[in-house]
Amino acid sequence: MAEPASTVTLTIDGQSVTVPANTTILEAARSIGVDIPTICAHDATTPRGLCRLCVVDINRGRLLQPACIVPCQDGMVVETANERVRTSRRTILEMLHSAVDLSQAPAIQRYMAEYGADPQRFPEGRRREHPVLDDNAFYIRDYNKCVMCWRCMQVCAEDAQYIFALSIDARGFSSHITTAFDIPMPESTCVFCGQCVGVCPTNALKPKIEWGLEQGLSPDQIRETSRGMRRRQKPIRVE
């Protein structure tokens, strides 16, 4: 078998670009200053191609392709913002906005403006509604703001911590992040490492102190609300 070429040359929005083989289209585009929007992508997590905001048109194919996944190939002609691409991105953003509270997701709001997404496009659409979960002393979970990017679950699992406190319940529009049987965090395997809070793009996960201050609580009051939320102690066992 021949050695694969170490570099490939392709065209992105009319510009020729040469990159190392196995570079994604997203990386190649960014290297020449072409911005492709993303929601689920994060440097610390395995790309899953969920949000599809980064779709691009490759060789005018039947389907649009996720730039965060697809590697560059020699001779590709990539269009990152033609009408097809813009329709998909705009519609995804409009549908997302109609389902989820994006008020604390500034990056997504910027995309909304950039793609001319109408926040009222789906006026009577069902929203994802969940009670705000305040069950531990460290962070709150407001899944009304969750865009299902999976990052929290990924860093809790094989992408970082191997703790596996989180999973997804249900399917489709109803699917949502939760613990086993929706148990409170202190009863789960969570070790309160904070990685999930760190990678959340919409403030669905937020440090409790920050959330409490926003609610107008004093630090003492915040501490008071956390009383009794300590992690369940497992008995020490000597073998």
Partner 1 sequence: MVDQTSPELVTLERLAADFAGRGRDALLPALWAVQTAYGYIGPEAVRVLSQTLDIPEADIYGVIGFYSMFYDRPAGRTIIRVCTSPSCGLAGADRALHTLCDRLGTVPGGTTPDGQYTVEQTTCLGLCEHAPAALVSRQGAGEQQYAPIDIDAILAGQPGHHNGVIGSMTRVLLRDLPTDRAQTLAEYGEYVALQRALSDLMPEEVIAKIEASGLVGRGGAAFPTGLKWSFTRRAPGTPHYVVCNADESEPGTFKDRVLLEIRPHLLLEGLAICAYAIGAEQAYIFIRGEYPLATERLQQAIAEAEAAGYLGENILGSGFSLHVEVRRGAGAYICGEETALFEAIEGKRGYPRIKPPFPTTHGLFGKPTVINNVETLCKVPGIINRGGRWFRQWGTDLSTGIKLVAVSGHVQRPGVYEIPLGVTLRHVLEALCGGVVGELQAVLMGGAAGTFLRPEEIDVRLTFEDLRAIGSTLGSGAIMVFNDTVDLRDVLRRIGEFFQHESCGKCYPCQLGTQRQKEILDRLATPLPGDRQRLADIGQTMTESSLCGLGQTAAAAVLSAMRQWPELFPA
Show the tokens assigned to 109: 């709001």
Torsion from C-alpha of 199, 201, 203, 206, nearest 10 degrees: 0
The CB-of-29 to partner 1 minimum distance in angstroms stands at 17
The CB-of-85 to partner 1 minimum distance in angstroms stands at 9
> Which is nearest to 92 in space by CA: 112, 62, 74?
112
Positions touching partner 1 (CB under 8 A) are 39, 48-53, 55, 62-64, 66, 69, 84, 87-88, 90-92, 95-96, 98-99, 121-126, 148, 164-175, 178-181, 188-189
List the beta bridge partners of residue 66: 55
The CB-of-125 to partner 1 minimum distance in angstroms stands at 6
d(CA 123, CA 126): 9
By C-beta, is 110 or 219 nearer to partner 1?
Answer: 110
By C-beta, is 124 or 220 nearer to partner 1?
Answer: 124
The CB-of-227 to partner 1 minimum distance in angstroms stands at 24
Side by side, the strands of the sheet bearing 55-58 are 15-20, 7-12, 77-79, 55-58, 65-66
Q: Count the Cβ atoms, other than its own, within 10 Å of residue 61.
A: 8
By C-beta, is 32 or 168 nearer to partner 1?
Answer: 168
By C-beta, is 188 or 203 nearer to partner 1?
Answer: 188
